Chain A
Amino acid sequence: MPDLGVRASVCARGGRKDLTMPGAIMFEFPDLFFTGLFLTVQLSVLGSIGALAAGTLIALFRISPIPPLRWVGVAYVEFFRNTPLLVQLFFLFLGLGALGFRFWTTDTFESIFRAGAAGMALYHGAYVAEVIRGGLLGVDKGQIEAARSLGLSYVQTLRYVQLPQTFRATIPPLGNIGIALIKNTSLASTIGVAELLQAAEIVESRTFRTEEAFGAVVLLYLVLTIPASLGVNWLERRLLVAR
């Protein structure tokens, strides 16, 4: 139980006169905050790679000439886009756990981390799939016909003509999804991944310094997301095809 008495008296003190520099608290609890930050980065990177892979595959399914593959693609996108990420995480952690699946590890924390990363990849993969599909459909039909008449197979046309243009054209929306993914990793705290948000919650419950703990988290998320935004902008300037 959070101790209300202590909270109330902290509030009554009226915004702590000894308030230190914003974010200074992270250096008082470096193991919690920086281990948390590292886990958030790991989740973000693994989640992004997974989302890009899953999304591209599903997008190819969705434009495939083979109907069952198209159905799989539609089912995937509609399921993962239309259910809450939080519910998916709980299913991956406790639901699959009930079926005996632990992501090929016996260590609880490793299996929870993998469940979290898988949740990030699967959920955001649905959004990536729709963006990529849009990009693939945006490639001029004349180019595809030209490639096929030059003797390129369906797969070769995808590989050398459609996908390269698609990735370059979809950098801005993919960047959006990536940044959303970084922030959404905070939901993994609910299944017990000791990432950034959970670190702040632990520090808050130990010290009752709510504003400082969550202020530090805001700063650390900005440290991750602002460079990500700048990186996306840079990539866009470098690679975007003018059409």
Chain B
Amino acid sequence: MRSILVRITALGAAVAVLAAACGGGGGAPTQPSPTAAPAATAAAKPKFELASYQYAIQTKGKLKVGTREDNVPFGLKNPATCKFEGFDVDVVREFAIAIFGAEGKADPDKFIEYVPVVSATRIPTLKDNKADIVAATFTVNEERLKEIDFSTVYFRTGQKILVKKSDTTIKEVADLKGKTVCTAKGSTSEKNIAAKNKDAKLLLLDSYPPCLIALQQGQADAVSTDETILFGLVKQDPNTKIVGGYFSDEPYGIGIAKGRTGFAPFLNKVIADMIADGRWAALYKKHITPVSGDVKDGPHDKGRPGG
């Protein structure tokens, strides 16, 4: 009996150690520096209206953020460093800086509490107040606007086509006539293809990696879904390329719960400032250009070839 108890305790301790190794999510806790005067730090914080939600967050001292852990290049928990990274995450860090001022700028992660989400848990996470904002390639649409609020569009993408690099016949969605196009079943991508080109032959598999293999083997002529997912496939197989323009619209917004006074306009202002002063373009260059090869100045920019 005793030995079982000892084992359970040991197991518990081991689990605790493992959890601690990647725990927190907000980076290493930093001790407040004894030399920094608390008054000076407080003075560096931006002033908000007392009724606003950003003031509540500032007072709380933490911005709770729902993001994905496995969505390259937008939200990813780096398994080596246990830190979150990606385009969405860096946008969120800008919000933290805007709320917490100079101290936030020094280490935004100190003020951010990450709440991992998947597609299906994004709205519940907001409604149950588990997160203040959700930044996770979250497409703004009518149905969702009934449940939650969104910021302005901070990233815009759409459905595109992935073909082999050697392919010269498929350049846009109209060229898919009679071709075999692979996509995931149960996705809006399948609906979009069927709507845009009813002569395309759809090969429906469970996810995108088998689609990529089918493309590599020539069983499929093209793979089609959100460009952001195609970026990830190109990274896996550099012998493929993305062609054509968008034939669906996927505008991403920051999700927030309804009834957050003044919060959406505040986020919109931060997003607008980021686009205006080039921080947005810098983030695009950092996260998206390595896979897309283009540069953009803002979410509505058409983009042009970049180095």
Contacts and interface: CB of A to CB of B under 8 A. Distances in A.
Interface of A: 1-6, 8-9, 90, 93-94, 97-98, 102, 108-109, 111-112, 190-192, 194, 198, 201-202, 204-206
Given A201-B186, A202-B185, A109 B146 contact: no
B288 to A, nearest CB: 19
B201 A109 contact: yes
A12 to B, nearest CB: 10
A4 B204 contact: no
B204 A194 contact: yes
Most A CB contacts (10 A, CB to CB) among B119, B139, B143 go to B143
Given A5-B123, A94-B210, A94-B214, A108 B186 contact: no
A1 B119 contact: yes
B255 to A, nearest CB: 11
A166 to B, nearest CB: 40
Contacts of B205: 190-192
Interface stretch (B2-10, B53-61, B187-195, B231-239): B187-195
Contacts of B139: 1
B180 interface: yes
A8 B123 contact: yes
Contacts of B143: 3, 5-6, 9
B217 interface: yes
Contact of A4 (B119, B190, B210): B119
**B interface residue count range (under 10 / 10 to 19 / 20 to 34 / 35 or more):** 20 to 34
Best-surrounded residue of B119, B185, B226 (most CB of chain A within 10 A): B185
Contacts of A94: 210, 213-214, 217, 219
A2 B219 CA distance: 25
A2 B214 CA distance: 23
Contacts of A202: 185, 190, 204
A116 to B, nearest CB: 13
Given A94-B217, A112-B219, A2 B187 contact: yes
Given A5-B147, A190-B206, A194-B204, A97 B219 contact: yes
Contacts of A3: 141, 143-144, 188
Contact of A198 (B141, B185, B217): B185
A76 to B, nearest CB: 26
A2 B146 CA distance: 17
B187 A205 contact: yes
B146 A97 contact: no
Given A4-B123, A108-B219, A202-B190, A192 B147 contact: no
B203 interface: yes
> Which applies to chain A's interface (DSSP): helix, strand, loop or mixed?
helix
Contact of B185 (A9, A98, A205): A205
A207 B143 CA distance: 14
B120 to A, nearest CB: 5
A97 B122 CA distance: 38
A192 B217 contact: no
7 contacts: A4-B144, A6-B143, A9-B143, A97-B213, A108-B214, A108-B219, A109-B180
Contacts of B203: 108-109, 112, 192
B119 A97 contact: no
A6 B226 CA distance: 19
A8 B147 contact: yes
Nearest to A100: B217
Nearest to B142: A5
A53 B229 CA distance: 44
Contacts of B188: 1-3
Contacts of A109: 180, 201, 203
B296 to A, nearest CB: 23
Contacts of A5: 123, 141-144, 146-147
A1 B204 contact: no
Given A5-B146, A94-B214, A192 B204 contact: yes
Nearest to B121: A4
Contacts of B97: none
B89 interface: no
B220 interface: yes
Contacts of A9: 143, 146
B120 A4 contact: yes
B138 to A, nearest CB: 10
Nearest to A5: B143
A6 B123 CA distance: 12
Interface in B160-192: 180, 182, 185-188, 190-191
Contact of A204 (B120, B144, B186): B186
